[in-house]
Amino acid sequence: MGQTIVEKILGHNIGASAVKPGEIITVNVDRVMLDDIMIPFIADKFHEMGFEKVWDPDRAVLIYDHLVPASQQDDTRHYRVGEQFIEDYGLTHVHRSDGICHQLMTEAGYVKPGDVVFGTDSHTTTYGCVGAFSTGIGYTEMAAILGTGKLWVKVPETIRVVIEGKLPKGVMSKDVILRLIGDLGADGATYRALEFTGSAVEEMSVASRMTMANMAIEAGAKCAAFPPDLKTAEYCGIELDEFQKSLVGDEDASYVKTMVYQAEDFVPVLACPSQVDKIRPVSQLEGTAIDQVFIGSCTNGRLEDLQAAARVLKGKKVAPFVKLIVTPASRKVYEEALACGALKDLVEAGAIVTHPGCGLCCGRTGGILCDGERVVATNNRNFLGRMGTSKVEIYLASPMTAAACAVEGRIAAADYSD
C-alpha cells in the first residue's frame, strides 16, 4: 500500500516504515513558532508545568506581528513577557516587527520540506507550501513542546486535490482555494490533510502555494501538503535530499476522497459575508458599493500579490471615499516591492501603505471599520467582528479583484486586456 505525503513525513519522523490514518503517534518536533498574542499564556503554562529550560532554544521562533505597533494598553504586556522569556530561556530566533509569522517562517528558512512544525496560530498550515507537516496548536500544547520537544498527533486522513491545465488570465490561487473551500464547506476537511497535485499546481509559484496552504484551515484541514520540487528547493535555499524528493502522494495511497478540477474552469470569486465558504463569482456581485479595500495578510501580502494589484492599479486612481490599505507581509517583501516599483504604482493610485505585520486582518490596527461599512479584503477570514464591529461586511478576494474594486468603488472584475 502506498502512502500520502503526510504519512511519509510522520512515518519518517518517528522512524516507522509506515503510519496509518487514525493512529496516535508521538512526533519529534523540528521547529515551533510562538506569536506575540500567545506568549504570555505559553509562559504561564510553561512555568505551571515545572519546566526549567526549553528543550532546544534554537528550534523556537518568537515573532511579534499581531500586536505591533501596540493599539491597546495591554499589548505592551505581551512584549514584556516575551522579552523576559527570551532572556530566561535563551531563545535565539526573535523577530520584532519584521513581518507576519507565517511569511517569516518560510522566508527566513526556518521550515524545510519534510519538517514537523507547530505554531500557536491556526494558519500554521501555511508551511505545507514547502512540503512540511505543519499545524496550529494551543498554548498548553506549545508549553509542553517547549519543555519536551515532543507532541502526540493523530495521523490524519488525506483528501487529494488534483488540478490539471492552465489557469485563465486573471485567476489567482486565491480564487482556486476559495472555490475549493466552497465545494468542501467550512468543515469538509476537518482533521484531514489536503494534498495538492496536478499540472496547474506544478506551475504555481511557492507564493501561490502558500496562499492555498494558508487557507486549508478554513475548510477545517489539519494541514496542507504540496510536493517539494525545484521551486521549493530554490525558495528554501537547499538541494532536496532523497527523502524530500520522495514526498509525493503515491498513486496507490489510501485517500478518503479525490477531487479533480480543470484549471480552465476557474473564475474570479469572492467569499461573501460572513462565511468563508459562501463563495460567489465576482460577476454575480458586480456593482455592490464598498468603503474600503485591504491588500495584505499572511494569505496575500507577498511580492507577487502586490505586483498583481499594482498592475491593475497602474495609471489609475482609487475611487473617491474608498480607502485602499496595503500591508506587505514582511520587511523583505516591502523592500522588494519598493525596488521593483510596485509600491510606487500603488501609492500613486492612492494606496495607504503600512508597516509589515498582521494589521487589519486580525482587527487590531490599520483600518478598523464601523457599522454598515463594507470591505473587500485579501486575507483569510470574513467572520463577524473580524475587522471592526459585527455589522461590518467582509468580502474575501484575490489581490487582482481587490485592486479592481478599489478603482471602481464597488465590486468589479479586473480588466485583463493588458
Q: How confident is the model at residue 316 (pLDDT cuts 50, 70, 90)?
A: very high
pLDDT tens for each residue of 23-72: 999 999 999 999 999 999 999 999 999 999 999 999 999 999 998 888 88
Residue 259 has what pLDDT?
98
Q: Is the pLDDT of residue 240 over 70?
A: yes
Fold for 269-408, please state it: Aconitase; domain 3 (3.30.499)
Q: What percent of the chain has pLDDT over 90?
A: 93
- Tell me what the pLDDT averaged over the chain comes to: 96
Residue 139 has what pLDDT?
98
| Amino acid code (one letter) for 109 | G
Q: Is the pLDDT of residue 418 over 60?
A: no
DSSP state letters, 322-346: -EEEEE-SBHHHHHHHHHHTHHHHH
Q: Does domain 5-263 correspond to CATH entry 3.30.499.10?
A: yes
Q: Is the pLDDT of residue 205 over 60?
A: yes
Task: Report, as an integer, the average pLDDT of 379-408.
Answer: 95
Residue 127 has what pLDDT?
98
Q: Is the pLDDT of residue 74 over 60?
A: yes
Residue 417 has what pLDDT?
55
Return the bridge partners of 194, or none. 159, 224
Task: Report, as an integer, the average pLDDT of 140-151.
Answer: 98
Task: Report, as an integer, the average pLDDT of 183-208.
Answer: 98
Residue 416 has what pLDDT?
64
Same fold, 5-263 and 269-408: yes
Task: Report, as an integer, the average pLDDT of 270-294.
Answer: 97
Q: Is the pLDDT of residue 291 over 80?
A: yes
Q: Is the pLDDT of residue 288 over 70?
A: yes
pLDDT tens for each residue of 345-368: 999 999 999 999 988 888 877 788
Domain ranges of the chain: 5-263, 269-408
Task: Report, as an integer, the average pLDDT of 127-150.
Answer: 98
Q: Is the pLDDT of residue 384 over 70?
A: yes
pTM for this model (two decimals) = 0.96
Of 112-121, 158-167, 380-389, which range is least confident?
380-389
DSSP state letters, 349-384: HT-EE--SSSGGGGTSSS--B-TT-EEEE-SS---T
Rounded-to-integer distance, Cα 236 and Cα 60, Å:
18
Rounded-to-integer distance, Cα 282 and Cα 266, Å:
12
| Amino acid code (one letter) for 76 | T
Task: Report, as an integer, the average pLDDT of 88-114.
Answer: 97
